[in-house]
Structure 1
């Protein structure tokens, strides 16, 4: 009887630990989801591990975005109002040879580490240049 009780307790403990570990590691949305503001996107980028201490807003925002900003020379964030504006921005970048751009449902991030952004925020990586 002690074996059954100890075995049952061990099985319950394993199931409990497995359920705890999977709930902590929630995968990002495959499509990258949406962000309401450039500040929300900045917070997500920082949570992903990129440094974005000083967000410098573009005034006015870049041509196709609702809001855009840079964190550094190599990190650029933008939010778009709809798919048409997002696609127009991507069409603009394709011939310009932008190295890699993370793309979500209504956002883009240009950075030195597109794999880190994709791993943590989801979306896709568009390679448009070398």
Structure 2
């Protein structure tokens, strides 16, 4: 129970940095009584499949935070350029979720954190274990 409370707290802390949930809107809207064009119907389905796949990636990333057996975990909410930019970004350790620290990617790796998972678009969540 204590562990799940920590995970909830960490996720709430980084939620402001990750992409907010968006309302899914398909590219083509059909009106009752008008003929649907197959290409437009297929475009809508392709859009929904892509969105579903993106959701799966995000869920798998969050599930990996819980599923892997590490002594401690750390989540970093970062820009997709973080690995090579040298910029320090906000990271939160599960063992101390109220203490947000800024680290570069090199600092995280030099402290022997192992990369578990990456998820997101331009703004990403990197999950490390130790």
TM-score under structure 1 length normalisation: 0.27
TM score, norm. by length of structure 2:
0.27
More strand by share: 2
